[in-house]
């Protein structure tokens, strides 16, 4: 590759390459060297733009976090409509997200869960949680919104980890219970 004096897109190409590396090899395969090779840039470019691997992972996680939010934004604001069934809309949007780019969804969660071992990623992972909570703020209270986000995280992780099919009706029912404060309908209720 020839030397480039001015390359305003290089930083973004490095982030995109990091996401592809994690998608193909997992977090363990991420290094400045692997990203430089994937981005077709000199190794020094990756360390110039991202001093540490954590810096690079933060940028990649921040970009990957857009997946679910993008599905919500592209839907045209159904969540903001007070007449819409919030549980049904969230269940539908979650299904659309999981049915989309599965590698992207897995990557988003892999980077999100990397925050368990990499404290530098925790603020970005928290941004995702609070961002979705904020999306729900006009429709419910903060405590319920946080519970909804936790429930959706759990359902998505179960689908990803077990390879099972996403069940929209189950998700809608569980979300309705949290949102409406309804308990189960079993014996003794």
- Other C-beta atoms lying within 10 Å of the C-beta of residue 166: 18
Instruction: Name residue, tokens 């990557």.
Output: 107
Q: Quote the CA–CA distance of 49 and 46 in Å, as a whole number.
A: 5
Q: Which CATH superfamily is domain 10-60 in?
A: Homeodomain-like (1.10.10.60)
Asked if residue 119 lies in contact with residue 129, where contact means CB atoms within 8 angstroms, the answer is no
Q: Quote the CA–CA distance of 125 and 104 in Å, as a whole number.
A: 16
CATH fold of the domain at 65-180: Tetracycline Repressor; domain 2 (1.10.357)
Q: Quote the CA–CA distance of 152 and 132 in Å, as a whole number.
A: 10
Domain with CATH 1.10.10.60 in the chain: 10-60
Task: Detail the DSSP E strand segments found in 69-121.
Answer: none
Q: Quote the CA–CA distance of 121 and 112 in Å, as a whole number.
A: 8
pTM: predicted TM-score of the whole model, two decimal places: 0.77
The tens place of each residue's pLDDT in the chain, 189 residues long, gives 455 567 789 999 999 999 999 888 988 899 999 999 999 999 999 999 999 999 998 898 888 777 777 777 777 667 778 888 999 999 999 999 899 877 778 888 888 888 888 898 888 888 878 888 888 877 899 999 999 999 999 999 999 999 999 999 999 999 999 999 865 554 444
Output the six-digit token pair for 59: 């940028």
Output the six-digit token pair for 147: 């519970």
CA 93 to chain CA mean position, Å: 13
> 142 by DSSP, 3-state: which?
helix
Instruction: Report the pLDDT value the prediction gives residue 182, as an integer from 0 to 100.
Output: 67
Instruction: Report the pLDDT value the prediction gives residue 103, as an integer from 0 to 100.
Output: 77
Instruction: Report the pLDDT value the prediction gives residue 31, as an integer from 0 to 100.
Output: 95
Domain with CATH 1.10.357.10 in the chain: 65-180
Helix 66-74 / helix 86-99 crossing angle, nearest 10 deg: 120
Instruction: Report the pLDDT value the prediction gives residue 188, as an integer from 0 to 100.
Output: 41
């Amino acid at each position: 590759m020839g030397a480039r004096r001015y390359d305003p897109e290089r930083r973004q190409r490095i982030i995109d390459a990091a996401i592809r590396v994690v998608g193909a090899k997992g977090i363990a395969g991420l290094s400045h060297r692997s990203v430089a090779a994937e981005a077709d840039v000199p190794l020094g470019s990756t360390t110039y733009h991202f001093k540490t691997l954590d810096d690079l992972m933060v940028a990649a996680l921040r970009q990957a976090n857009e997946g679910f939010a993008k599905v919500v934004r592209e839907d045209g604001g159904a969540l903001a409509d007070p007449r819409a069934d919030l549980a049904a809309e969230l269940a539908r949007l979650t299904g659309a997200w999981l049915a989309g780019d599965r590698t992207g969804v897995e990557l988003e969660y892999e980077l999100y869960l990397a925050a368990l071992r990499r404290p530098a990623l925790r603020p970005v992972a928290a941004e995702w949680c609070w961002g979705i909570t904020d999306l729900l703020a006009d429709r419910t209270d903060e405590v319920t919104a946080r519970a909804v986000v936790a429930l959706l995280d759990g359902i998505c992780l179960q689908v990803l980890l077990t390879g099972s099919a996403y069940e929209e009706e189950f998700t809608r029912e569980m979300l309705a219970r949290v949102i409406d404060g309804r308990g189960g309908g079993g014996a003794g209720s």
